[in-house]
Structure 1
Amino acid sequence: MQRIKVKDLLTGAEAGKEVLLKGWVRTKRGNKFVSFIAVNDGSTINNLQVVAEAEKFSEEALKDVTTGAAIAVTGELVASQGKGQAYEVQATRIEVLGKADPETYPLQKKAHSLEFLREIAHLRFRTNTFGAVFRVRNALAFAVHRFFNEKGFVYMHTPIVTASDAEGAGEMFRVTTLDPINPPLTESGAVNYAEDFFGKATNLTVSGQLEGELAAMAFSDIYTFGPTFRAENSNTTRHLAEFWMIEPEMAFYDLKMTADLAEEFIKYIIRYALEHNREDIEFLGQRLAEEDKAKPQHERQEMTLLEKLEFVVNNSFERITYTEAIDILLNSNHYKKKKFQYDVSWGVDLQSEHERYLVEKHFKKPVVVTDYPKDIKAFYMRLNDDGKTVAAMDILAPGIGEIVGGSQREERLDLLVERMKGVGIHEEELWWYLDTRRFGGCPHAGFGLGFERMVQFVTGMGNIRDVIPFPRTPQNAEF
């Protein structure tokens, strides 16, 4: 007999028929006449109740049917006699496929803290919270590919190992096969990377953008979706050492077109999750509401998770310049009452607290901030006519701040070379990148969206470590 998943059985499509169900026991309760076993197989947040009558199953026969055990159930799918679900399975056969020692199985029928669940990340998928989070993550990932496919973009796989630092930040993970104790040295005593596997110093990529630009100069519209790495010693709820980025690059685009595409993209993937994973989002919203009750009144969310997502989908994003953003912050009561931890002045990079003030307090909606000072942005961003700012844009979202960063790229060879010199990048290091300006260069633009931050936004999870299966953070590479 072919197995049918819980999600499909709960629709009642097989009612009145003998079915085969396989999954993991969430709970077992009952009396001397009957046992009720809640089974989940990950296809939905909802469990399916299995009814095992004592006439058919002795206590001995069910002794290994404990929380966490994997079981196969054969029986008839019938209308449920109890509340909570429409259908249940009247069992005729139950086989234990994998035991779970009830004395040592760490997931019992009680609330577990998210901190505890991070310590058992190999098992946390089995909880309702993380089942919902990662089904939503899956839906968002699928929606990413669907959006760009519908737009005619080419999916490009850019390298994970690279010799360039796209951001100029210098916080990268070294990739090497050299002996860590006795590496070959140059005459000056430095490590001789010419003898390394790739013949030069290489790192894990911080971005696929530069290689993406090369492809955009042939295909017009491309996107990447892959892992990126930052060796930044940040133990915060917003940072990971390994995370996934979505980076489209578009030839013949300017900054406004890029901001419009990013807004359309964000709304598309949120709408997809709302349509296909509403039960999961509703559950996560209830969880968030319970968390909110424990907070002081002034810290509570004004909208539920569902309301927030639907508001984003149904409303245009606010658009302001960086200069306007600074003016708003300087004139705010928050600034005047010295509630900001970090200073506000023209030329400083906006901190998360500034971004969240603009989004959550001032505009109460996502905000697109454009035209940042050139000195706080990357070398490849197009210099504006004022000579002080670049055609850059960030999209700020409620709860987490920056969710998208993008720009029109500098297509003018002389200005790009000048910017590279200004930040200490030699022409020979990126000769191939400069060739795209020498040979048929054109105005082009792109953006990057941190996938985990988007998953955070849609699920309402407060810590980015809870929206990636196995978080990589300073001093932590478990599992």
Structure 2
Amino acid sequence: MAALKRTKIVQLLSAEEIGNLVKVKGWVRTKRENKNVAFIALNDGSVIHNLQIVADPTEIEEEVLKKITTGACIGVVGKVVASQGKGQKVELAAEKIEVIGTANPEEYPLQPKKHSLEFLREIAHLRPRTNTFGAVFRIRHAMIFAVHSFFNDKGFFNVHTPIITGSDAEGAGEMFRVTTLDPLNPPLNEDGNINYKEDFFGKETNLTVSGQLEGELAALALSEIYTFGPTFRAENSNTTRHLAEFWMIEPEMAFYDLDDSMDLGEEFLKYLTQYALDNCADDLAFLEKRLLEEEKGKPQKERSEMTLTERLRFIVENDFVRLTYTEAIDILKNSKPNKKKKFQFLIEGWGADLQSEHERYLVEKHFKKPVILTNYPATIKAFYMRLNDDNKTVRAMDILFPGIGEIIGGSQREERYDVLKQKIEAMDIPAKDVWWYMDTRRFGSAPHSGFGLGFERMMQFITGLNNIRDVIPFPRFPGSADF
């Protein structure tokens, strides 16, 4: 087999070069056989479709055929021939088969039947071999590539911001501690508290919840930057929307006001969605079919009004509606679900923190378009958002999607030193933790804006999967850090 170079299945299926002698390698999905012929479905992960291998028992040793079971890894040399069956145009007539790695069928957990997503999470080290997760992870790669392509084409610079940090960008306090101190016998101060001056960094440090603050520093020198890195939240949440480790895309732009940032956010989301439609058609078609089968088992009122691809086109083909938080509150307060007490969280007046059910109502029921909300109450938003002239609201913006709710959150940043100083003091943020951030407002401050897109939240939207744990290869959540 050494003379022939391996051909990927995606190349073989697209080229359809009848009569060529090729070598393929991959993992067996299924094997059907009788005394005259064996049909082996082979997949190498390069495409959702399997390649059918046709093996003649008179040409392939019986001992080799016995070892070919679901999950086994094999290499095959054979000729590309026109397929006699339905579902594929070509197949491979095997001339030689090598068993690279066996898989005991009594122990291999991925047998040719439908497995629940909950079960597959327990074997996350093997679930990429399934059609569903092969599709998800190929789409994930495509979306990563699209993110970098979008910003590169616009002249943005990618900046790596720290994973270990001494600041809490969100002010939430739910952070993972990073320390080298002895957990059983840490050094103590006279007051009995841990002496972090003896720790590795000489201070208390954590895993980052956001690269935004450091991203702002870069934007106030390079003008337009973006980060794309892992972030961490020590939030004890077991919902379908939360992970302890996830990836964030955070552009920061000098000289952008809130309108500029909204324009960029809308363009960015449309670009990613269109890229998926253009480049992931086979995987999306598989996931759409899978979701439609799942929908059949749900009550009519719980079924989605749109198919997966219809939902993606909904983003690409509609201009996003823009309105203020105040206008949204009026709409929600007077809505039927609110008046009939159908919302889990009733809207009683201005100042309410909007929940996913409110955001989805605006998108799916009221406007029937993606929505951008702006100018939120200062009391429910972060310290770094620019205060409006009314002294009540900040120049924040959230972009809302069907089925998801908020998918992007951002703002025009507070560039005025005195105002930012007052906000930091009012929120009891220690000045020693943000002195470097304040310096950018002392030395050549400029208006700037930015936003954050949770990559896994976007992946949920693109794939249609309901649980965020199913769009990242190895999910981290309370009680689970395996693999």
Q: TM-score range by the shorter chain?
A: over 0.9
Write out aligned runs for 1:313-392 (5 A): 313-344=316-347, 345-392=349-396
Partner in structure 2 of residue 203 of structure 1: 206
Partner in structure 2 of residue 164 of structure 1: 167
Partner in structure 1 of residue 255 of structure 2: 252
Partner in structure 2 of residue 412 of structure 1: 416
Partner in structure 2 of residue 59 of structure 1: 62
Q: Is the 8 A contact 1:22 1:41 kept in 2?
A: yes
**Deviations 1:346-380 (Å, cap 9, x if unpaired)?**
11211111111111221222111110000000000
Q: 1:441 aligns with which of 430, 441, 445?
A: 445
Q: Could you tell me which amino acid in structure 1 is paired with residue 382 of structure 2?
A: A
Q: Which moved more, 1:203-212 or 1:304-313?
A: 304-313
Q: Is the 8 A contact 1:356 1:398 kept in 2?
A: yes
The ranges of structure 1 where at least 4 consecutive aligned residues each deviate by more than 3 angstroms after the TM superposition are none
Task: Provide the C-alpha distance between the structure 1 equivalents of 2:367 and 2:296, rounded to a whole number of angstroms.
Answer: 24
Is structure 2 residue 215 aligned with structure 1 residue 212?
A: yes
Task: Provide the C-alpha distance between the structure 2 equivalents of 1:59 and 1:34, rounded to a whole number of angstroms.
Answer: 12
Task: Provide the C-alpha distance between the structure 1 equivalents of 2:435 and 2:409, rounded to a whole number of angstroms.
Answer: 25
Task: Provide the C-alpha distance between the structure 2 equivalents of 1:408 and 1:116, rounded to a whole number of angstroms.
Answer: 43
Q: Could you tell me which amino acid in structure 1 is paired with residue 418 of structure 2?
A: D
Partner in structure 1 of residue 156 of structure 2: 153
RMSD: 0.8
Give TM-score, length-normalised by structure 2.
Answer: 0.98
Is there any run of 5+ residues in structure 2 with no aligned partner, and where? none
Task: Provide the C-alpha distance between the structure 1 equivalents of 2:14 and 2:44, rounded to a whole number of angstroms.
Answer: 15
Partner in structure 1 of residue 20 of structure 2: 17
Is structure 2 residue 151 aligned with structure 1 residue 119?
A: no
Write out aligned runs for 1:391-406 (5 A): 391-406=395-410
Q: Is the 8 A contact 1:247 1:447 kept in 2?
A: yes
In the TM superposition, residue 58 of structure 1 has moved relative to its aligned partner by 4.2
Query: What secondary structure sits across from 1:207 in the alignment?
Result: coil
Q: Is the 8 A contact 2:318 2:370 kept in 1?
A: no
Q: Is the 8 A contact 1:12 1:87 kept in 2?
A: no
Task: Provide the C-alpha distance between the structure 2 equivalents of 1:438 and 1:304, rounded to a whole number of angstroms.
Answer: 51
Task: Provide the C-alpha distance between the structure 2 equivalents of 1:83 and 1:385, rounded to a whole number of angstroms.
Answer: 67
Partner in structure 2 of residue 174 of structure 1: 177
Is structure 2 residue 136 aligned with structure 1 residue 130?
A: no
Task: Provide the C-alpha distance between the structure 2 equivalents of 1:357 and 1:395, rounded to a whole number of angstroms.
Answer: 13
Task: Provide the C-alpha distance between the structure 2 equivalents of 1:65 and 1:360, rounded to a whole number of angstroms.
Answer: 49
Task: Provide the C-alpha distance between the structure 1 equivalents of 2:388 and 2:166, rounded to a whole number of angstroms.
Answer: 29
Partner in structure 2 of residue 107 of structure 1: 110
Task: Provide the C-alpha distance between the structure 2 equivalents of 1:57 and 1:161, rounded to a whole number of angstroms.
Answer: 56
Task: Provide the C-alpha distance between the structure 1 equivalents of 2:450 and 2:93, rounded to a whole number of angstroms.
Answer: 56
Q: 1:141 aligns with which of 104, 126, 144?
A: 144
Query: What secondary structure sits across from 1:10 in the alignment?
Result: helix
Q: Is the 8 A contact 2:417 2:441 kept in 1?
A: yes
Task: Provide the C-alpha distance between the structure 1 equivalents of 2:161 and 2:455, rounded to a whole number of angstroms.
Answer: 17
Q: Could you tell me which amino acid in structure 2 is paired with residue 437 of structure 1?
A: R
Is structure 2 residue 239 aligned with structure 1 residue 236?
A: yes
Q: Which moved more, 1:381-390 or 1:297-306?
A: 297-306
Q: Is the 8 A contact 1:29 1:36 kept in 2?
A: yes
Partner in structure 1 of residue 426 of structure 2: 422
In the TM superposition, residue 212 of structure 1 has moved relative to its aligned partner by 0.3
Task: Provide the C-alpha distance between the structure 1 equivalents of 2:473 and 2:187, rounded to a whole number of angstroms.
Answer: 38
Percent of aligned positions that are identical: 70
Q: Is the 8 A contact 2:16 2:80 kept in 1?
A: no
Q: Could you tell me which amino acid in structure 1 is paired with residue 173 of structure 2?
A: G
Q: Which moved more, 1:209-218 or 1:6-15?
A: 6-15
In the TM superposition, residue 429 of structure 1 has moved relative to its aligned partner by 1.8
Task: Provide the C-alpha distance between the structure 2 equivalents of 1:334 and 1:131, rounded to a whole number of angstroms.
Answer: 39
Partner in structure 2 of residue 48 of structure 1: 51
Give TM-score, length-normalised by structure 1.
Answer: 0.99
Task: Provide the C-alpha distance between the structure 2 equivalents of 1:417 and 1:92, rounded to a whole number of angstroms.
Answer: 75
